[in-house]
């Protein structure tokens, strides 16, 4: 039975009824606000605002406690109940599939999706096996790293696995499960659920069959996934012929500021959990909490999962809608919308591999992007694919694997690009780029700004496919695409914002060395005259990194080129508050003049249960310009660029209390964020701030202080 949406007449509700657009919506399952009927010009010049300051909304906003039932036309359950999260009836506008309740029902979470197994590589001939064996033996014999140690043993074991993958690929998942159990790498059930053929087993078969196990690929597999080999330095980088033109000398004159500002929203790491079970254990010891299948008997529950979420759980529908209701009011954009929004990835919850499926990924993509369309106003949303926005999680295969292996993730790129087109955020040319380039694209706006979105899974350490031919810094062609687009932008006189999910630097724990080393050189070549800003997410924390000339060999204010902004997450996972950010952007230079961050105290969420009058309270946490320091000679309309940020790090060196201020904001003022007062912590964080690539951080910085979680 489905519950029909109704308009409430109660005077106790704390939010106005949503307005519906005058278009047929039954086929999609969504009710769309009337304001969305205004035609969207994706490349239009944004509305110009005041030149010196922008009017914000109230300093706080108490979101309604009751769920806005008019958000959807129908539900599988009673949307007015507070004992469980809503289960709306969702129709995919691209596939026309009505997603069944069984996909998101917290009481009956599917354990395996057998409909779409990954393809396996073809069985090798005897000659191919012989040739590969000889190649790998030579690699082992000539690689100086090997000796009588765990690294040698690991690589030798992977050599055997490689031949299994070549000769009998269907047996490689079984081998992986048995080795996992034999080594006590995980419990028997976990080994089966992680490495069988419908989960990561088929991915491992592809990687082992194609990787140079005896060389750098095998060493990095043993280092990153098993900690049995040392981490080698970044490979020497040969840039001969990489750039079509040398860097202009002198640089062209900088784009002049217009003196006019617009508001740009930055959201990241939404991690919607439609399987969130209100009242389940919210303080579990393993896996994703707030799940009915990861919870003891009711009598043994220590922390019943609050309706709006908690620190060890992803975003329930209640928190998702409260956040999106709060944003327009707090930013004073209810009537105008944002000039544009950047979303730096991760829509999907942190489920175990055997609980994920293509349908679950497509469901999250459909729901979250439609919510953005309905609640954020008329400006386009420029999104990047996150590591959780794929099945299997974090996996993306390069096209050069060939055949069905090279296109096995195209279903996701096609679905995402079609959704972005459906929501009228991207023009046709950008949609075609996204389908061809792993959901990466470039949008040339008419105002002189170009947005380039990257699929950073191709430098993420958890993507097994990246361990094929690691000596090549751009096995997927993603960085070739970026370089060509930046060259086009330079030739056209455009400024560029780059958006991605996995950060290229900070503490060096998230990205591979070789690809981010090449990325750093690309940024150097096209900064500061082309690249205005870079935006990442992934860590769930509020952070930044500065890029310098000459690979950061001399880190001074004069050598600072561009800054990457690492956006705060909506999800509270792990031990964080929920937050979002708005930038004040000059419409001529596209530099950021100020950044405002809001957060809500997750620690208060249990007190909001058992009533519907009040929901989470979002508070203006800080203005970046005013929170840290007043730089001498820096006027109110001067940008918060790399030079400004470097000078802030100099202020931090002189006054370590500023690092503690930064650390508080890093966790969005969570009560669970620890302090940063030791000299090692202060030095490490300043070093991370100055590390735009993983090699720089690994080479220069004290490890272990990169997160407040």
The confidence band for 197, taking pLDDT boundaries of 50, 70 and 90, is: confident
Confidence of residue 298 (pLDDT cuts 50, 70, 90): confident
In a domain, 231, yes or no: no
Measured in whole angstroms, how far is the alpha carbon of residue 493 from the centre of its chain?
29
Is pLDDT at 20 greater than 60 in this prediction? no
The CA distances from residue 302 to 281, 306, 593, in Å, are 7, 12, 46
Helices (H), 281-399: 317-330, 358-375
Distances (CA, A) of 561 to 367, 493, 534: 38, 18, 11
Average pLDDT, integer, range 197-224: 95
Is the predicted pLDDT of residue 579 greater than 90, yes or no? yes
Least confident of 134-138, 246-250, 582-586, 606-610: 134-138
SS (H, E, C) 241-256: CCCCCCCCCCCCCCCC
Say if residue 498 is in the same domain as residue 645. yes
Measured CA to CA, the distance from residue 112 to residue 475 in angstroms comes to 31
3-state DSSP of 108-132: CCCCCCCCCCCCCCCCCCHHHHHHH
Cβ–Cβ < 8 Å for 668, 707: no
582 and 536 both lie in a single domain: yes
Torsion angle of alpha carbons 531, 535, 536, 542, nearest 10°?
130
- Is residue 294 located within the same domain as residue 401? yes
Mean pLDDT of 199-226: 95
Domain count, the chain: 2
pLDDT at 664 over 90: yes
Q: Region 639-666: what's the mean pLDDT?
A: 97
CATH of the domain at 642: 3.60.21.10
From the list 660, 661, 655, 590, the residue with the least C-alpha distance to 626 is: 661
Residue 297: pLDDT above 80?
yes
pLDDT number for residue 180: 87
Residue 329 buriedness (CB in 10 A; 0-12 / 13-18 / 19+): middle
**pLDDT reported for residue 130:** 58
CA distance 180 to 201: 11
Kindly report, residue by residue over 241-291, the tens digit of the pLDDT: 999 999 999 999 999 999 999 999 999 999 999 999 999 999 999 899 999
Rounded Cα–Cα distance for residues 488 and 433 (Å): 15
**CA 85, 418, 111 angle in degrees (round to 5)?**
40
Looking at residue 541, its pLDDT comes to 98
Residue 447 lies in a domain: yes
Please say if the pLDDT value at position 168 is more than 80.
yes
pLDDT of residue 6: 37
C-alpha to C-alpha distance for 473 and 479, rounded to whole angstroms:
9
Q: How far apart are CA 457 and CA 398, in angstroms?
A: 11
Residue 375, domain member (yes or no): yes
Q: How far apart are CA 292 and CA 282, in angstroms?
A: 10
Within a domain: 98? no
Quick check: pTM over 0.85?
yes
- Is 281 strand, coil or helix? strand
Eight-state DSSP code of residue 303: S
**Per-residue pLDDT at 139:** 64
**Whether residues 459 and 581 fall in one domain:** yes
Give the pLDDT of residue 46: 47
pLDDT higher than 60, residue 213: yes
Please report the pLDDT score of residue 598 as a whole number: 98
In the structure, what pLDDT confidence band is assigned to residue 198 with cuts at 50, 70 and 90?
A: confident
Band (26; pLDDT cuts 50, 70, 90): very low
Q: What is the average pLDDT across 420-440?
A: 97
The answer to whether residues 175 and 313 belong to one domain is: no
**pLDDT, tens only, 508-559:** 999 999 999 999 999 999 999 999 999 999 999 999 999 999 999 999 999 9
Residues 295 and 209 in one domain: no
CA distances from 322 to 34, 57, 71, 132, 707 (A): 20, 16, 12, 56, 27
Q: Residue 65: inside a domain, yes or no?
A: no
Exposure pattern of 422-455 as b/e (b: 16+ CB <10 Å)?
bbebbbeebbebbbebbbbbbbbbebbbbbbbbb
pLDDT beyond 60 at 25: no
The percent of residues above 70 in pLDDT, for the chain, comes to: 90
Instruction: Using alpha carbons, select from 352, 333, 221, 346 the residue that is nearest to residue 284.
Output: 352
Contact of 650 with 557, CB cutoff 8 Å: yes
User: What mean pLDDT do residues 354-376 have?
Assistant: 97
The HSE-up count of residue 154 (CA atoms within 13 Å, CB side) is 22
Residue 110 domain flag: no
The verdict on 211 and 288 lying in the same domain is no
Strand-pair category, 261-267 with 578-586: antiparallel
Residues 206 and 327 in one domain: no
361-385: b or e for each residue (b if 16 or more CB lie within 10 Å)?
bbbbbbbbbbbbbbbbbbbbbbbbb
* Alpha carbon distance 433, 361 (integer Å): 21
Domain contains 296 = yes
- What pLDDT score was predicted for residue 134? 52
Residue 3: per-residue pLDDT? 61
Collapsed DSSP state (helix, strand, coil) of residue 279? coil
Report the pLDDT averaged over residues 318-336: 97
Task: Evaluate if residue 307 carries a pLDDT over 80.
Answer: yes
Q: Would you call the peptide bond into 392 cis, given omega within 30 degrees of 0 as the criterion?
A: yes
**What is the pLDDT, as a whole number, of residue 105?**
95
Looking at residue 140, what is its pLDDT? 59
Three-state SS for 365?
helix
Which candidate, 364, 372, 408, 371, places its Cα nearest to that of 389? 364
Whether the pLDDT of residue 45 is over 70: the answer is: no
Pair (648, 524) in one structural domain? yes
For the CA atoms of the chain, what is the radius of gyration? 25
178 & 316 share domain? no
Question: SS3 for 579?
Answer: strand
Q: What is the mean pLDDT of residues 86-109?
A: 95
**Looking at residue 1, what is its pLDDT?**
56
Tell me the pLDDT band of 13, cut-offs 50, 70 and 90: very low
Whether 293 and 410 map to the same domain: the answer is yes
Query: Could you list the residue range(s) of the whole structural domain that residue 317 is in?
Result: 261-700
**Whether residue 527 sits in one domain with residue 483:** yes
The fraction of the chain above a pLDDT of 90, given in percent, is 79
Is 60 exceeded by the pLDDT of residue 444?
yes
Task: Say if residue 83 is exposed, middle or buried (CB neighbours under 10 Å; 0-12, 13-18, 19+).
Answer: exposed
Size (the chain), residues: 709
Residue 92, domain member (yes or no): no
**9 confidence band (pLDDT: 50, 70, 90):** very low
Do the Cβ atoms of 416 and 476 come closer than 8 Å?
no
Q: What is the mean pLDDT of the chain?
A: 90
pLDDT at 128: 79
Report the C-alpha gap between 232 and 211 in whole angstroms.
Answer: 17
- pLDDT: is 27 or 615 the higher one? 615
Kindly report which listed range (26-35, 138-147, 165-174) carries the lowest average pLDDT score.
26-35
């Amino acid at each position: 039975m489905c519950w029909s949406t109704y308009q409430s007449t109660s005077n106790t509700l704390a939010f106005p009824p949503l307005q519906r657009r005058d278009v047929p919506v039954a086929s999609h399952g969504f009710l769309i606000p009337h304001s969305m009927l205004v035609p969207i010009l994706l490349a239009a010049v944004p509305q110009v605002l005041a030149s010196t300051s922008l009017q914000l909304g109230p300093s706080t906003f108490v979101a309604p406690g009751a769920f806005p039932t008019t958000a959807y036309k129908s539900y599988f359950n009673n949307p007015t109940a507070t004992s469980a999260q809503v289960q709306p009836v969702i129709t995919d506008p691209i596939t026309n599939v009505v997603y069944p309740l069984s996909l998101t029902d917290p009481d009956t979470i599917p354990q395996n999706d057998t409909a779409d197994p990954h393809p396996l590589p073809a069985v090798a001939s005897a000659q191919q096996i012989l040739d590969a064996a000889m190649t790998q033996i030579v690699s082992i014999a000539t690689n100086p790293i090997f000796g009588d140690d765990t690294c040698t043993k690991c690589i030798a074991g992977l050599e055997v696995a490689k031949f299994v993958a070549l000769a009998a690929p269907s047996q490689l998942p079984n081998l992986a499960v048995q080795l996992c159990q034999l080594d006590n790498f995980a419990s028997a059930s976990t080994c089966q659920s992680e490495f069988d053929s419908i989960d990561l087993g088929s991915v491992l078969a592809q990687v082992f069959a194609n990787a140079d196990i005896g060389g750098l690929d095998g060493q990095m597999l043993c280092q990153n996934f098993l900690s049995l080999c040392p981490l080698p330095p970044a490979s020497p980088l040969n840039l001969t012929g990489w750039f079509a033109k040398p860097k202009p000398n002198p640089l062209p004159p900088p784009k002049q500021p217009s003196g006019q500002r617009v508001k740009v929203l930055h959201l990241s790491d939404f991690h919607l959990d439609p399987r969130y079970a209100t009242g389940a254990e919210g303080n579990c010891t393993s896996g994703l909490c707030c799940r009915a299948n990861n919870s003891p008997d009711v009598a043994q529950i220590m922390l019943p999962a609050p309706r709006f979420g908690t620190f060890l759980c992803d975003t329930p529908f209640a928190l998702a809608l409260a956040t999106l209701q709060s944003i327009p009011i707090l930013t004073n954009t209810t009537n105008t919308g944002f000039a544009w929004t950047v979303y730096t990835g991760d829509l999907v919850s942190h489920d175990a591999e055997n609980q994920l499926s293509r349908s679950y990924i497509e469901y999250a993509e459909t729901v979250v992007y439609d919510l953005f369309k309905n609640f954020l106003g008329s400006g386009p949303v420029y999104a990047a694919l996150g590591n959780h926005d794929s099945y299997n999680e974090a996996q993306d295969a390069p096209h050069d694997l060939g055949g069905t292996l090279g296109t096995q993730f195209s279903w996701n790129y096609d679905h995402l690009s079609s959704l972005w087109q459906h929501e009228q955020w991207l023009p046709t040319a950008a949609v075609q780029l996204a389908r061809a380039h792993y959901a990466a694209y470039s949008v040339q706006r008419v105002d002189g700004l170009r947005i380039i979105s990257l699929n950073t899974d191709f430098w993420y350490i958890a993507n097994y496919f990246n361990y094929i031919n690691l000596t090549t810094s751009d096995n997927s062609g993603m960085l070739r695409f970026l370089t060509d687009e930046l060259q086009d932008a330079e030739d056209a006189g455009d400024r560029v914002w780059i958006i991605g999910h996995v950060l290229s630097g900070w503490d060096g724990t998230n990205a591979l060395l070789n690809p981010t080393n090449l990325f750093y050189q690309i940024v150097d070549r096209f900064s500061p005259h082309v690249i205005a800003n870079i935006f990442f997410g992934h860590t769930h924390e509020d952070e930044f990194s500065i890029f310098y000339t000459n690979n950061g060999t001399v880190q001074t204010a004069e050598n600072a080129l561009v800054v990457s902004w690492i956006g705060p997450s909506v999800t509270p996972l792990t031990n964080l508050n929920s937050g979002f950010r708005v930038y004040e952007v000059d419409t001529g230079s596209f530099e950021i003049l100020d950044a405002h961050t809001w957060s809500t105290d997750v620690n208060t969420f249990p007190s909001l249960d058992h009533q519907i009058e009040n929901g989470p309270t979002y508070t203006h946490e800080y203005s970046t310009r005013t929170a840290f320091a007043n730089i001498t000679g820096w006027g109110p309309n001067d940008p918060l660029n790399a030079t400004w940020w470097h000078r802030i790090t100099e202020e931090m060196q002189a006054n370590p209390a500023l690092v503690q201020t930064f650390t508080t904001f890093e966790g969005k003022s969570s009560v669970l964020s620890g302090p940063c007062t030791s000299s090692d912590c202060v030095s490490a964080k300043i070093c991370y701030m100055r590390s735009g690539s993983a090699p720089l951080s690994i080479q220069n910085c004290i490890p272990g202080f990169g997160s407040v979680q």
